[in-house]
Amino acid sequence: MTKGTVVAAMSGGVDSAVTAALLKQQGYEVIGITLQIWQEHSEQGKTGGCCSLGAVEDARRAANRIGIPHYVLNFREYFAEKVIDQFVQEYRRGRTPNPCVECNRSVKFEEMLRHAENLGADYLATGHYARIRFNETSGRHELLRACDLSKDQSYALYTLSQYALSRTLMPLGHLASKQETRRIAAELGLSVANKPDSQEICFVPREGYVSFLQDHAPDVLRQGNIVNLKGEVIGTHNGVALYTIGQRKRLPGGSREPMVVVQLLAEINTVVVGSEEDLLAPGFQAENCTWSAIEVLSTPMNVKAKIRYNGQAVAAQLLPDTAPMTVKGIFQTPQRAVTPGQAAVFYGGKNEEEGQVVLGGGTLTDTQIAVTAG
């Protein structure tokens, strides 16, 4: 008797390989699946990054070592439509996108989960560092931070629906550290035990995202004005997409104090600069919100809000907005460089353990809003 059938998403790295191995040890029938998402024009896609051509071979070897079947699914067109097209569109809007959030939502935990079900699988498993549990009091599945907070990936997983959470396994979230993952891989004789973690956006070439945009959206790389907060032109730029909030590079010199980017006005192709003090935002607005541990935000709530992947979760108060799927937030202490296009993820709970629970999240908008507490 097995515990059920699991489709393990195998990206070719050590995390997904150990995930598949652990689940097999625990008594599941495991099927390894790798997504073919690399684009033919991308050298990066052929040689490096998750789900690249080289990574597929690493995944195949790991599956063979573990003793499970392995298949490759062609997701190139779907990935291009759901992730790459949105990535480009966000730059056109003067925003700084996080493509991993959308990839997790639409590719891994919608379409791939659907394919897993078509194969008769009971669960989808991934190598993410996060935890899932069922809260009997609320009757909801909850996403929690990983035990190893330095590897926690819950920020990029906030969009998971209740259904996806109920059908997903993430065994690495309970491990004490990444070193333990590598130790398990070495003990199992997996060739990926010491493979470096992928740091790149999988579809972006080695030359970087600017080279990618030159090929896919040259219209966002056109010359425009750099202005100060008084509206005075102080220089020119070669494309709004070359900038992000808080950036110091590619700005004119000669100012008595360091200048930073404080706003991007894509509709008029303008970069606005100011001082470090101008970057401090008392609050924020997030749109397209999804909720996880709670059904919906109906009253003001004190949370910990995280506004960038590598940032710290800070105290904030959430307020329901009149617009659907939108919330406003007030930071307990003003925060630097609230960046439109990035995710705002909300954590809550009454104690340290409960404070690791993902309540929900949304996408930061173009407006940094100063509001008063409700």
Based on the domain organization, do 287 and 162 belong to the same domain?
Answer: no
Residue 252 lies in a domain: yes
CATH of the domain at 124: 3.40.50.620
Domain carrying residue 115: 5-187
Catalytic residue among 50, 51, 100, 103: 103
Residue 266 lies in a domain: yes
In sequence order, the 6+-apart residues with CB closer than 8 A to the CB of 114 are none
Based on the domain organization, do 242 and 310 belong to the same domain?
Answer: no
Based on the domain organization, do 256 and 287 belong to the same domain?
Answer: no
Active site residue 50: no
pLDDT at 369: 37
Based on the domain organization, do 106 and 248 belong to the same domain?
Answer: no
Based on the domain organization, do 143 and 108 belong to the same domain?
Answer: yes
Active site residue 51: no
User: Phi/psi at 89 (nearest 5 deg)?
Assistant: -65, -35
Beta bridge partners of 74: 36
CATH of the domain at 354: 2.40.30.10
Residue 304 lies in a domain: yes
Cα dihedral angle (166, 168, 174, 175), rounded to 10 degrees? 180
pLDDT at 216: 84
Count of domains forming the chain: 3
Residue 138 lies in a domain: yes
Catalytic residue among 50, 100, 202, 289: 202
Residue 40 lies in a domain: yes
pLDDT per residue, tens digit, the chain (374 aa), is 679 999 999 999 999 999 999 999 999 999 999 999 875 555 544 445 555 667 899 999 999 999 999 999 999 999 999 999 999 999 999 999 999 999 999 999 999 999 999 999 999 999 999 999 999 999 999 999 999 999 999 999 999 999 999 999 999 999 999 999 999 999 999 999 999 887 677 888 777 888 889 888 888 899 999 999 999 999 999 999 999 999 998 898 767 788 999 999 999 999 999 999 999 999 999 999 999 999 999 999 999 999 999 999 999 999 998 888 999 999 999 999 999 999 999 999 655 565 699 999 999 996 553 333 33
DSSP assignment of 224-263, as one string? Answer: EEEE-TT--EEEEES-GGG--TT--TT--S--SS--EEEE
DSSP assignment of 121-158, as one string? Answer: -SEEE---SEEEEEETTTTEEEEEE-SSGGG--GGGGT
